[in-house]
Amino acid sequence: MNKLKQIVLHAIIWIAIVLYFMYNNGRTEYSTIVNFVYFGIVNISLFYINYLFILPTFLNRKKYLWCALSIFFVVMIFSFIKCGLAYYFYDIVIKRGGSKVVIDFWYYYSSAVFVSCFFILLSTVLKFIQDWFLNEKVKSNLENENLIAELAFLKSQINPHFLFNSLNNIYSLAYQKSEKTPEAILKLSEIMRYMLYESNEDKVELSNEIRYLENYIELQKLRFKDNIYIKFEINGDLLGLMITPLVLISFVENAFKHGIATDSENPISISLNLTDGKLLFHVSNIKSSMNKDITGGIGLQNVQRRLSLIYKDRYRLQIDDTNDIYNCELYLNL
């Protein structure tokens, strides 16, 4: 809330309070104006001296003794001011509108101190509440900034990681002098175009993300020539569904890097099932003892961290990693 809005809100609240007590008293004559306007101005002034000057000057700087002493002297001074007003309007305040009952000075002074302390307490509580909300807002903004920075860092790791693996694949094709090398380079350029431009958004269409997976699989097929066995199934309606980009690719990459893609009896299995905006992504493969990744699985660690940051309690990841088989099942509430 900016300062102008805050000032207007405070003014409306104080005017409403004063008017409420004035008219709730059932009278609007001069005595009522004296009691609720003049003394109201004194109490409101006391409120803001504590709220705007004493607390920010001493309490925020942890000068507790000076804060207590300042409040004490301000309460004493304002209570004397109230007594001065009371004797100025002697017949209205001290004699209660001309009645025979006269209020004792020290009794009135102690009452003035009590009321002053109430407004000090009220301003202090408001200050604490405001500071708490402000601190929570700053903390939330800081957490969001840290989250954005971490996600940006995690996402920046995907491109080099993926590019490194893909270039290795194309290198093997070029080393074999394969005629499919140009096609592989074209597929890689399409994939990199998606990663550099389309995936910059927080969410992308699920159909585009699947197309990206298909391009990656086609690139792998070029690498293995005709000796690759993979089953890729999609069930359900993709229309209108959005997903965080580059979340699914790590599991598919892992299947090709650590799995056996040339076993016709045990093909790499990838399935994607959609039901009422909920996605179930499953990848399974037979593990190869020959394919060991010296990087230590950066891709999977990366994607698990991204899932926990973005989807929080809207995802479930189950990985069964045995000596022979690797199964991965990811549930996402899109």
pLDDT tens across 271-294, in order? 999 998 899 999 999 987 765 554
Q: Are residues 124 and 189 in the same domain?
A: no
- pLDDT (tens digit per residue) in 196-227: 777 777 888 999 999 989 988 888 887 776 67
- Looking at per-residue pLDDT, the higher value among 69 and 84 belongs to 69
Cβ distance 279 to 243 under 8 Å? yes
3-state secondary structure the chain: CCHHHHHHHHHHHHHHHHHHHHHHCCCCCHHHHHHHHHHHHHHHHHHHHHHHHHHHHHHCCCCHHHHHHHHHHHHHHHHHHHHHHHHHCHHHHCCCCCCCCCCCHHHHHHHHHHHHHHHHHHHHHHHHHHHHHHHHHHHHHHHHHHHHHHHHHHHHHHHHHHHHHHHHHHHHHHHCCCCCHHHHHHHHHHHHHHHHCHHHCCCEEHHHHHHHHHHHHHHHHHHHCCCCCEEEEEECCCCCCEECCCCCHHHHHHHHHHECCCCCCCCEEEEEEEECCEEEEEEEEEECCCCCCCCCCHHHHHHHHHHHHHCHHHEEEEEEECCCEEEEEEEEEC
- Chain Cα centroid distance, residue 48: 33
Which of the given ranges, 184-198, 241-255, 286-300, has the highest pLDDT on average?
241-255
Final residue of a structural domain among 86, 120, 139: 139
Residues 284 and 206 in one domain: yes
pLDDT tens-digit map of 36-51: 666 778 888 888 888 8
> Which residues span the domain enclosing 319?
178-333
Domain end: 122, 139, 156, which one? Answer: 139
Which of 115, 139, 163 is the endpoint of a domain?
Answer: 139
Question: What is the per-residue pLDDT for 272?
Answer: 94
Say if 313 falls within a structural domain: yes
Do 255 and 324 belong to one domain? yes
136-192: pLDDT as tens digits? 777 776 566 656 656 565 565 555 666 776 788 788 878 888 787 888 888 888 888
| Residue 104 maps to a domain | yes
96 confidence band (pLDDT: 50, 70, 90): low
As for how many domains the chain has, the answer is 2
pLDDT at 295: 44
